[in-house]
Amino acid sequence: MLIAFDAKRALANATGLGNYSRFTIEALAREFPGHQYLMYAPGNAKNKSYNVNQLLQRPNISLKTGGGALWRSWGITGDLAADKVNLYHGLSNELPLNIDKAPCPSVVTIHDLIWRRVPGDYSLIDRKLYDLKYGRSARLATRVIAISRKTRDDIVNDFGVDPSAIDIIYQGCDPSFKPVAQPVVEDIKKRYDIDSPYIITVGTVQSRKNQLLAVKALPALPPEVKLVIAGRRHEPYAREIDRYISSHSLGNRVIQLTGVPFCDLPGLYAGAEFATYTSRYEGFGLPVIEALSVGIPVIAATGSCLEEAGGDAALYVNPDDTEEMVDTCLKLLNDSALRHRLLNNAPKHLKQFNPADYASNVTKTYQHALQTFLQ
């Protein structure tokens, strides 16, 4: 069987949707090597991740580049017929607008409806465009994959999609997120000039991600503890964090890192006392899984789907309660029994994010889509 993907994000995004796209393609190619996998990407997509080069070393994965946005929104459908594709998977929320004319079934992964929940992070034009493209994709797809129960419920409520057409499939994280040898951790810390105990938060620095909560908790924590913020800066929220750091004399306790190579993230996580991910809204919350996978505790936020990502292996706080954040941080720093319990809970919880199981579940969705299309 020939399975084709919208692989723009696999080439163009080093994090987020790009990680999901690469993870999905590699997991399927590894676990089901009898199929062929074709990545469609616009000709102007840039390879920002070494992972893509690794993918293309597999004999059952190939890449086909086309035009630009118009080709991705319309032209791919014609290529599906010419290339004799058996199934098409839109990995990042969307399908071609004329996917209903395609000669094969389609699957779309919807990650979240963040632009509807946090509209202030998006322009009006973008919100209207996402409503059109993503809503249409969810309604026209043969099957929809939602990456959490929260996202499934949002798709049903906002787009009117029949819940029986949606499969909830939790994503896994890259296999490189695993316990890291101490010499590797020490080398990472040395290269990033980190010489004190630290807490880490990974993700784009924007208001929804709520890194400011960890910054506000810092003055109440032991003075030797620092905070590492790793992620692309999104203005003006990043400047708001800068102002808070300056006004509270925290410049020597907050380390802000941008452009961290993907291969360094496991070591950065592993060197931390714990990770925080107190986002107000997520479709899934992959950094929670990444941190747990390398073997450190996590503080996440209530209110969206992060309890699904962390289960009983993480602690949770109100994303707007600084006092609760301080108390929870102090518990993790001082209560070894609590840390031990959380870390013991992690392996069982993480089993549901196993790449092999993930690939198997995605393949079941493909089989269901093929059966539905032929009816």
Radius of gyration, CA atoms only, the chain: 21
The domain 182-353 is classified under which CATH number: 3.30.470.10, 2.40.30.170, 3.90.930.12, 3.40.50.2000? 3.40.50.2000
CA distance 241 to 238: 5
CA distance 198 to 194: 8
pLDDT tens profile 114-134: 999 989 888 999 999 999 999
Average pLDDT for 5-33: 91
Asked if 115 contacts 127 with a C-beta cutoff of 8 angstroms, the reply is yes
Which residues sit opposite 168 in a β-bridge? Answer: 146
Q: Domain ranges in the chain?
A: 2-171+354-374, 182-353
Q: H-helix or E-strand containing 257?
A: strand 254-257
Asked if 141 contacts 90 with a C-beta cutoff of 8 angstroms, the reply is yes
Helical segments of the chain, H only:
8-12, 17-31, 50-56, 69-70, 76-82, 114-117, 124-140, 149-159, 182-191, 212-217, 237-247, 265-270, 286-294, 306-310, 322-334, 336-350, 355-374
Asked whether residue 46 carries a pLDDT value surpassing 90, the answer given is no
Asked whether residue 360 carries a pLDDT value surpassing 70, the answer given is yes
In a 13 Å sphere around the CA of 95, the CA atoms on its Cβ side amount to 30
pLDDT tens profile 279-297: 998 988 899 999 999 999 9
Q: For residue 267, what pLDDT is reported?
A: 98
pLDDT tens profile 227-264: 999 999 998 999 999 999 999 999 999 999 999 998 99
- The band of 332, judged by pLDDT with boundaries at 50, 70 and 90, is very high
Asked if 71 contacts 108 with a C-beta cutoff of 8 angstroms, the reply is no
**Torsion angle defined by CA atoms of residues 318, 319, 324 and 325, in that order, rounded to the nearest 10 degrees:** 140
pLDDT tens profile 339-350: 999 999 999 999
Asked whether residue 215 carries a pLDDT value surpassing 70, the answer given is yes
Around Cβ 351, how many Cβ atoms within 10 Å? 9
Asked whether residue 53 carries a pLDDT value surpassing 90, the answer given is no
Specify the range with the lowest mean pLDDT, choosing from 15-19, 142-146, 225-229.
15-19
Topology annotation, domain 2-171+354-374: Rossmann fold (3.40.50)
- The band of 226, judged by pLDDT with boundaries at 50, 70 and 90, is very high
Residues 6+ apart with CB under 8 A from 283: 110, 111, 112, 113, 114, 147, 148, 150, 151, 305
Q: Cis ω on the peptide bond leading into residue 319 (within 30° of 0)?
A: no
Q: For residue 120, what pLDDT is reported?
A: 84
Asked whether residue 49 carries a pLDDT value surpassing 70, the answer given is no
Judge whether 2-171+354-374 and 182-353 match in fold: yes
For tokens 């950065």, name the residue: 268
Does 12 or 35 have the greater pLDDT score? 35
Asked if 3 contacts 366 with a C-beta cutoff of 8 angstroms, the reply is yes
Tokens read off for 75: 């032209």
pTM of the model: 0.88
Residues 6+ apart with CB under 8 A from 89: 3, 4, 5, 6, 24, 106, 107, 108, 109, 366
